[in-house]
Amino acid sequence: MVSNPLVSDRNVEFLLYEVFDVEQICRLPAYQDHSRETFDLILNGARKFAREVVLPTYKPMDAEPAHMVAGGIKVHPAMKALYPKLVEQGGIAATRPYEVGGQQLPHTVATLVALYGMAANLSAVAYLGLTAGAAHLIEAFGSDALKAEVMPRMYSGEWTGTMALTEPQVGSSLTDVRTRATPTDRGHYLLQGNKVFISGGDQDLTENIVHLALARIDGAPPGIRGVSLFAIPKKRLEGSKLVPNDVHCAGAFHKMGWRGIPSIALNFGESGDCHGWLVGPPHRGISCMFQMMNEARLMIGMNAIATASVAYEEALEYARTRPQGRPLGSKDPAAPQVPIIEHADVRRMLLRQKAIVEGALSLGVQTARYADLAAHAATAEERRRALLLLDMMTPIVKSFSAEKGFEANALAVQVHGGYGYTSEYLPEAWLRDQKLNSIHEGTTCMHSMDLLSRKVMAEQGVALRVLGEEISGAIARASAAGVTPAWGEAVGRAVGVVGDLTAYLASLGMSGKVEEMMRHSVDYLDLFSTVAVSWQWLLQAAVAREGLAASRLPPGFYEGKLCAAEYWIRTELPRVDHLAALCRSGEGSYARMDPGWF
Amino acid sequence: MVSNPLVSDRNVEFLLYEVFDVEQICRLPAYQDHSRETFDLILNGARKFAREVVLPTYKPMDAEPAHMVAGGIKVHPAMKALYPKLVEQGGIAATRPYEVGGQQLPHTVATLVALYGMAANLSAVAYLGLTAGAAHLIEAFGSDALKAEVMPRMYSGEWTGTMALTEPQVGSSLTDVRTRATPTDRGHYLLQGNKVFISGGDQDLTENIVHLALARIDGAPPGIRGVSLFAIPKKRLEGSKLVPNDVHCAGAFHKMGWRGIPSIALNFGESGDCHGWLVGPPHRGISCMFQMMNEARLMIGMNAIATASVAYEEALEYARTRPQGRPLGSKDPAAPQVPIIEHADVRRMLLRQKAIVEGALSLGVQTARYADLAAHAATAEERRRALLLLDMMTPIVKSFSAEKGFEANALAVQVHGGYGYTSEYLPEAWLRDQKLNSIHEGTTCMHSMDLLSRKVMAEQGVALRVLGEEISGAIARASAAGVTPAWGEAVGRAVGVVGDLTAYLASLGMSGKVEEMMRHSVDYLDLFSTVAVSWQWLLQAAVAREGLAASRLPPGFYEGKLCAAEYWIRTELPRVDHLAALCRSGEGSYARMDPGWF
């Protein structure tokens, strides 16, 4: 376990410097202080820290979850010891500008830096990720007073932050938020309501926690346009003193995984004395919150990749060292057993994990690059294109990584055989962790609807056209590098399938058949994701060919990339025809199925 | 939770009396004492007992697993209280002949009776299932002394039994068993060796446990034909007294699920005083053990179905009662929220679960019927056909139910949203239970190799021809009943795909390309299973049409069957073309992938 690299360093180097040429990003004024040297320094620090300091905390924290004692959450002692060290690593404000105390690190790099910590102990680093997102909301939309008082304490890790959206009756339907906010004449509102599933909603790591919560101001219009965003601290500052703010932990959920960070039920204003401060304009809470949700969604996608990655690395090591059985057709029972990686099906399971992990990761870094360009590219047109792609790829990175990551994690258990089912080994714990990622920050279904009804439809499908141009670039690069032509052709054809299907579904929507258009949205997401990941594998194959041509080392690394690309493009990409046929078929069994017929 | 029916009674009735006409089986001499009346009596008893007595033990046993205390396993108090009641239900010898104390119940019925208990608490009933299998081995192959002394105590539940196959260095490779058996001149052997993953290998429920274990007699030839089967009791009878038999519990594995039954490491003969009795001829242990393994494999398939069923029923109830969100396109945020079953994607997830659970169950009952006919059909030819089908379907029932059952269980969690991830609800526990089913009693890969290299290849593919005839019968029944003709055509075409592909793969094997033939064995299993379950859905659709035509009640039940059949045949069956193409393609990425390239 100590030898688990969490994430392949060679692959990170490959993505940053060979596939996405991050040094190009450093030519943008915002990133001009950075260079490969600073990136490598940061990456190496993060790796060492994740492997030596963070990973050993994982198993104990999984075994003994944070729990409630006397009305408050007590975290694991290992978490208490780890938190100040995590803060010291400086991850909270890494991508934020210098003027708020950040390092102005490109997302392209920060994403990979964070990945190591997530792979080592996703719950532990989640305290910081949530804090970063919450502080960023205050940075973007908060009043000057909040920005002065609260934001620096969060970016420095002195206080943590949370995202308090959902309520017992609400789930994904944020329209139905009921928490109430009553204005006072002293600048704050009085909050009253109940929230559930608040990750890190209480802890004994820091003296204060700031909840970024959705609520309705008294008299607000019904529906989503009557929901506002508030900062609600656990304790409020009165002068320089922190006093309780009538925020109460009502209980902790017992979870299947992510056991190092509590998910709690939170009550605001049981005694009518819970102060909250409006963040952003009244009734515009959802659109403000979307900034954080989009960051959070990408973060969940990266968590999913990290969780699949660490399990893949563990399975790989196990398969290389566990002897069992003999080659097919071997007749000599006295011959020594071979490592299980020699069996074709074990290699299939490993290559499938590799294809999922490294395909999703490539897409994740591609998307992080779009985030950098959307904020800092030289021209307005470049920024606009990047933003379109960022928005379109966010549901893919989140949901593909969660859904296929779960499959990859199950395969890591399977490679371990009976041992994989025991907690003497870690794969079962990572499988439990992974399951949450298709649920929180928007279920897979919600993301499929976001993709199909918003992202690809906006402005007559401009995002899809821009994506098509990006993929054409990859096809050209692959062709120039000498990648098997059939692969580029297959990807090109699949892009055509997506385009035609999307146009067809749009026509259904425009003729009022919205139900029919949306019926197979999850299949559409599956199809779209499969094509997007094929694009990334084609790109990686191109760079692998370039690497082999340039005699970069080690050649086996590039050969492995070509095998994984072939695996994905030849075994997974062909599924698109079946999926497209489904989306078009109008197959209506479940639409027709009456709830009483089950 | 108390209202969970575990398994749909109406569906059980449908399968037994409408699809498979079990009363026909009662015309066979072996089953002539039975009738629908006795079956219903037994079924109703099992249902009531499973729902009221067994289910409430599930959550506590999951929360506090059986564990080791002072060298022995202590089971949960709820298990101690439950065991005598389970024994009283009479399940252990249900299908065995009267002369050994059984009820001579057809497997077709016994399988469904057992399903309720498995759905209620699969670990609890596993003690009995293992005992039944072990006792059946003694019945079939044991000496008269063993049959007199040991078997009745097992069939009566006074003692339990286990299956002690694997060893630390062995896993699936039973060729490599090292436990040694040294003959003595007193009828017994002296055993020495270590076993791992022995379910129910120790417990404090009964005064004795009989392990059916594989070992090598001193001087035995190497390889699988040097492995013998032994009965090794925890305590041996000396006169009428039970004395310790040098069998030691070396530790319990901590498991992800199945937490009510311990899986332990077992040491035989630490002090050189472990007596074992040969079962069956020397060196023929594997072929004897296969009888139990095949029963155990079907049992695991049924466990997988039961675990998917109980979660499906729970998700269904949740979806019908949990309000959240509004219909697509609803503009009024003040309108009340609707139950989530109104959302198309929730219905998709439920219908997919239904299609998996009821498709697999139909195939399981079909296979149980073959077991009855293989033993008791009137003519040798009928028995032979049934045996061929039983053997061919066993890996399908086991692996399909485990693999797709896991997907169904994950969907049950997903339907519950955030709550599904908490142990305040049960779906996460059932998901954890389900994961084992693709591993124990042969991994999915082992079953795919069994199917492709043995079952479909034996005697020039006779089993496949017989299956083709069975499926043709179903197509004709569907056509006569007025089922949408395209469904029958699709199934017929898919059978052709399987036949052509199998012939092609056989030709590869015969020309010495065994690696190439076997490379996609897991895809072949997936394809074969998809077709087999489509056959069952076509059959169910036929009977549903017959039911509607005959105005049987309730019509919604039959409509639901037609929806599920349509779902499976139109959305899942079309995957066969992709899978067949893969199996034929020679796609060799993972065959080529060097272990050093990952």
- Distance (Å) from the alpha carbon of A171 to chain B's nearest alpha carbon: 7
> Which residues does chain B have with pLDDT short of 50?
1-2
Q: By C-alpha distance, which of A292, A195, A204 is closest to A247? A: A195
Cα atoms in the Cβ-side hemisphere of radius 13 Å centred on A58: 32
Of residues A255, A431, A519, nearest to B422 (C-beta): A255
The secondary structure of residue A223, as a DSSP letter, is S
**Does the beta-carbon distance from A582 to B598 stay under 8 Å?**
no
Asked whether residue A435 carries a pLDDT value surpassing 80, the answer given is: yes
- Distance (Å) from the alpha carbon of A487 to chain B's nearest alpha carbon: 13
Which chain A positions have a beta carbon within 8 Å of B438's beta carbon?
A: 414
Q: Which residue of B has its CA nearest to A585?
A: B570
Percent of residues, chain A, with pLDDT higher than 70:
100
Task: Write down the ipTM of this complex.
Answer: 0.97
Higher model confidence: residue A80 or residue A329? A80
**Does the beta-carbon distance from B418 to A197 stay under 8 Å?**
yes
**Does the beta-carbon distance from B418 to A428 stay under 8 Å?**
no
CA B257 to chain CA centroid, Å, is 16
**Does the beta-carbon distance from A598 to B224 stay under 8 Å?**
no
Q: Which residue of A has its CA nearest to B509?
A: A329
The H-or-E segment that residue B250 falls in is strand B247-252
Q: What is the rounded distance in angstroms from the CA atom of residue A430 to the CA atom of residue A406?
A: 9
According to DSSP, the residues that pair with B231 across neighbouring strands are B212, B277
- Distance (Å) from the alpha carbon of A169 to chain B's nearest alpha carbon: 7
Q: What is the rounded distance in angstroms from the CA atom of residue B165 to the CA atom of residue B176?
A: 11
Instruction: Supply φ then ψ for residue A566, to 5 degrees.
Output: -60, -45
Q: What is the rounded distance in angstroms from the CA atom of residue B301 to the CA atom of residue B398?
A: 4
Task: Give residue B586's pLDDT.
Answer: 85
Q: What tokens does A574 get?
A: 């062909």
The H-or-E segment that residue B70 falls in is none
Cα atoms in the Cβ-side hemisphere of radius 13 Å centred on B177: 31
**Does the beta-carbon distance from A417 to B581 stay under 8 Å?**
no
Task: Give residue B169's pLDDT.
Answer: 84
| Mean per-residue pLDDT over chain A, rounded | 96
According to DSSP, the residues that pair with A230 across neighbouring strands are A213, A278
Model pLDDT for residues A389-420, shown as the tens digit of each residue: 999 999 999 999 999 999 999 999 999 999 99
Of residues B254, B438, B445, nearest to A345 (C-beta): B445
For A527-537, what is the mean pLDDT?
98
Contact A70, A202 (CB under 8 A): no
For A219-243, what is the mean pLDDT?
95
According to DSSP, the residues that pair with A264 across neighbouring strands are A198, A252
**Does the beta-carbon distance from B173 to A326 stay under 8 Å?**
yes
Q: By C-alpha distance, which of A334, A251, A314, A289 is closest to A161? A: A289
- Distance (Å) from the alpha carbon of B178 to chain A's nearest alpha carbon: 12
Q: What tokens does A21 get?
A: 């040429």
The H-or-E segment that residue A524 falls in is helix A521-549
Sequence-ordered list of residues with C-beta below 8 angstroms from that of B506, at least 6 positions apart, any chain? B457, B461, B517
Q: What is the rounded distance in angstroms from the CA atom of residue A493 to the CA atom of residue A510?
A: 26
The H-or-E segment that residue B277 falls in is strand B275-279
Of residues A172, A582, A592, nearest to B325 (C-beta): A172
The secondary structure of residue B209, as a DSSP letter, is E
**Does the beta-carbon distance from A344 to B518 stay under 8 Å?**
yes
**Does the beta-carbon distance from A563 to B418 stay under 8 Å?**
no
For A41-46, what is the mean pLDDT?
97
Model pLDDT for residues A469-482, shown as the tens digit of each residue: 999 999 999 999 99
Q: Which residue of A has its CA nearest to B403?
A: A410
Residue type, A251: G
Question: Mutate which of B309, B330, B342, B345 to test chain A, going by most A C-beta atoms within 10 A?
Answer: B345
Q: How many CB atoms lie within 10 A of CB B15?
A: 26
Interface size, chain A vs chain B, as Cβ–Cβ contacts under 8 Å:
271
Q: How many CB atoms lie within 10 A of CB A575?
A: 16
Catalytic residue positions of A? 441
Contact B121, B57 (CB under 8 A): yes
- Distance (Å) from the alpha carbon of A488 to chain B's nearest alpha carbon: 17
Q: DSSP per residue over A117-182, as a string?
A: HHHHHHHHHHHHHHHHHHHHHHHHH--HHHHHHTHHHHHTTSSEEEEE---TTTTT-GGG---EEE
Model confidence pTM above 0.95: yes
Helix pair B77-88, B107-141: axis angle to 10 deg: 100
Handedness of CA A327, A328, A330, A335 (dihedral sign): positive
Sequence-ordered list of residues with C-beta below 8 angstroms from that of A317, at least 6 positions apart, any chain? A3, A4
Sequence-ordered list of residues with C-beta below 8 angstroms from that of B411, at least 6 positions apart, any chain? B315, B349, B350, B352, B353
**Does the beta-carbon distance from A421 to B589 stay under 8 Å?**
no
Contact B105, B113 (CB under 8 A): yes
Q: DSSP per residue over A293-362, as a string?
A: HHHHHHHHHHHHHHHHHHHHHHHHHHHHH-B----TT---TTSPP-BGGGSHHHHHHHHHHHHHHHHHHH
Q: What is the rounded distance in angstroms from the CA atom of residue A166 to the CA atom of residue A195?
A: 6
According to DSSP, the residues that pair with B279 across neighbouring strands are B229
- Distance (Å) from the alpha carbon of B576 to chain A's nearest alpha carbon: 10
CA A552 to chain CA centroid, Å, is 31
Of residues B328, B435, B556, nearest to A410 (C-beta): B435
Of residues A171, A346, A406, nearest to B417 (C-beta): A171
According to DSSP, the residues that pair with B242 across neighbouring strands are B237
Q: By C-alpha distance, which of B83, B65, B13 is closest to B43? A: B13
For A224-234, what is the mean pLDDT?
96
Q: What tokens does B73 get?
A: 């396993």
Contact A501, A576 (CB under 8 A): no
Asked whether residue A78 carries a pLDDT value surpassing 60, the answer given is: yes
**Does the beta-carbon distance from A439 to B420 stay under 8 Å?**
yes
**Active-site residue among B403, B441, B546, B572?**
B441
Q: Which residue of B has its CA nearest to A559?
A: B597
Q: Say whether A212 sits in a helix, a strand or coil.
A: strand
Q: Which residue of A has its CA nearest to B432?
A: A432
Helix pair B344-376, B555-567: axis angle to 10 deg: 90
Cα atoms in the Cβ-side hemisphere of radius 13 Å centred on B384: 5
Instruction: Tell me whether residue A380 is exposed, middle or buried, using C-beta atoms within 10 angstroms of its C-beta: 0 to 12, 13 to 18, 19 or more.
Output: exposed
**Backbone Cα Rg of chain A:** 24
Residue type, A424: E
Of residues B346, B351, B522, nearest to A589 (C-beta): B351
Q: What is the rounded distance in angstroms from the CA atom of residue A545 to the CA atom of residue A539?
A: 10
Rounded to 10 degrees, the C-alpha dihedral B540/B545/B549/B554 comes to 60
- Block residue for tokens 């497209």: A580
**Does the beta-carbon distance from A172 to B589 stay under 8 Å?**
no
Which chain B positions have a beta carbon within 8 Å of A596's beta carbon?
A: 556
Asked whether residue A198 carries a pLDDT value surpassing 80, the answer given is: yes
Q: Which residue of A has its CA nearest to B446?
A: A345
Asked whether residue A156 carries a pLDDT value surpassing 90, the answer given is: yes
Task: Give residue A172's pLDDT.
Answer: 78
